[in-house]
Structure 1
Amino acid sequence: MLRHAIPPTRFFSQTPNDLIRHPRLNGTAVRLLQWALSLPDGSRETLQTIGEKMPEGRIALRRARQQLEAEGYVHTRRNQCPHTGRWTTRVLVSNVALLAPEEIEAAFAPPGDRMPTVGAPAERAVGASPREKNTEEVNTPHPDAPLVARAAAVLHRVGRTEARLALGIAEAAKLAPLAARWLANGASELELRTAVSAGLPSAVHSPAGFIARRLRDKLPAPRTRLDPAAPAEPLPECAGCGDPLPRGQATGVCAPCTGAVPAPGPGGPRGADRVRAALALAAPAVRVRTALPRL
């Protein structure tokens, strides 16, 4: 294939090759993103107004935006002004995929507070919705490196049992900080795998985007961890003899103290004989056929 390309001297935008060759983005999605990234600072264009100028149609444009959101190139935030109560929607577009929560929040931060990040984010105001409900995100500490590595291994193993969610090593590493928040909040690896892989659609066009959205939407609240050094909670005891009460009885006296079962004396029943007596008391109509050895 021969190539003839003349570099433009002005009015041009640079597009990463990874975006142009993206295997899960169709041409409409790539063009919509390139159009948005080519706009000058301060432009009042939105993805909706851009789509109205494109010939693909509303359905194709809606599918294109869904692909961009699933792959991490488009993110949306809704905020309410504390003084006027007016709701605004900010749309972030990036020429690289942003999947880690800290990258996304850093890109949405005001220019003065923004940490250095990749891509070229831009903010777009697209109107107000007074009926929107305010939602607050729970701030959790950033997981440590061993927890992130463990989360990456869990995500990578998901693809071994569910081919629709197969991730590459780099994709699993990008999603690991988000998955590590589950483990940091007290979720088990089984809970993490189940939340990611349960109830899958017939086809998953973007495994990384699909998993990222589930990890964000289903993140459990932090759980209270039990201190292993703390003393165990004592079992309820009989008010008469001080022996532990049967399971399910929190107060009162045990059966021997009530006289329902003879209390064992020095030569009373021991071991297997006490088991037989307890079984007979619990279910007198059931004949115990198991031969228990005498201790």
Structure 2
Amino acid sequence: MAVQNFSPALPAPAVAAPYPMAQPGYGKRSVPDQPPARPDDFALLPLRERYIAGFIEHLPEGASMSVKCLAKQIPLYGQQAIASALTALSVAGHLRRVRCAIGVGDEVRWVFRTFWSRSARDSEWWASCLTPGVPQSVQAPMPVPVPAPTSVPVPAPVPCAVPPQRPAAPPVPEGSSRAYLALAGLGRIDTRLPLSAEDCSVLEGLAEQWFARGVNADYLTSALTAGLPAQVDSPVGFLRRRLVDKLPPAMPTAPTPPSAGSSVRHVMMECTDCGAPGPAEALPDGLCRACRQHAAPAEPVPDPSAERDVTALVAGLRDLLKAP
């Protein structure tokens, strides 16, 4: 007699979701001319940094390198631990965060990249690697795939309901400067930074100093909105402080024009910890001066007992024992 088997089939194994990629032109970039991978590449690092370094090493080119994204993919550590580990990897010489201005003419945009080296490099090597003379193979953005045009048959017209139109934005004051417009748009990008017309007029002069140093509106907006706290009590005071503290360095008045066919303008490194921009020479170990002072270990407090005269101490104890 045949016996039917009613046992359910084994479930199919779960397929791991692919690691999220950054937008084209952003994310992880491996430096060239690296030696072959070895099992002991990160053996000198602490356990946490060694684990995260091995994870980053196996990420594909262009993978997202934000702290939030890494924390989602590495359940052993939270965002604060990931951020501290990235700072330690920067000091160890494996990582640098940079901002690259790419484009030609008026079509210039800033992209944010994390350069990664399997081998530890010193600050001088990173400074020479991330200067404007870096080969095109290192700085070239990831190509954006353009789908090929396809012929799609056009269906016959079908009447459809027209959705309600969004109300037009209020008119901008005539003759407003680009600094005023950039400040006025911050509240729409992040609701923690709403500015009134009077606030924009107050901060307009500070923002103009950024444009005078060669940055564009996208760079200014990114610098002012990066790493915001959970709550901003005084947006105008907060932005005034950032406009002063994060003012980029002055660029040469007559920069060398890029070679024909080159789309790279220049590279500006940013602090791995706080994101403050600056030239590579001003950010040794990938950290600004304030973050280097904060990360420096405190000097050990001398033990006063070690400076005592042991002979005098023993003699005093003997005298106490002889006393009646």
Fold similarity call, TM over 0.5: no
TM-score range, shorter chain: 0.3 to 0.5
Question: Which has the larger share of strand?
Answer: 2
Structure having the higher Rg: 1
- Give the TM-score taking structure 1 as reference length: 0.33
- Give the TM-score taking structure 2 as reference length: 0.30
Report 1 or 2 for greater relative contact order, CA contacts < 8 Å, sequence distance ≥ 6. Answer: 2
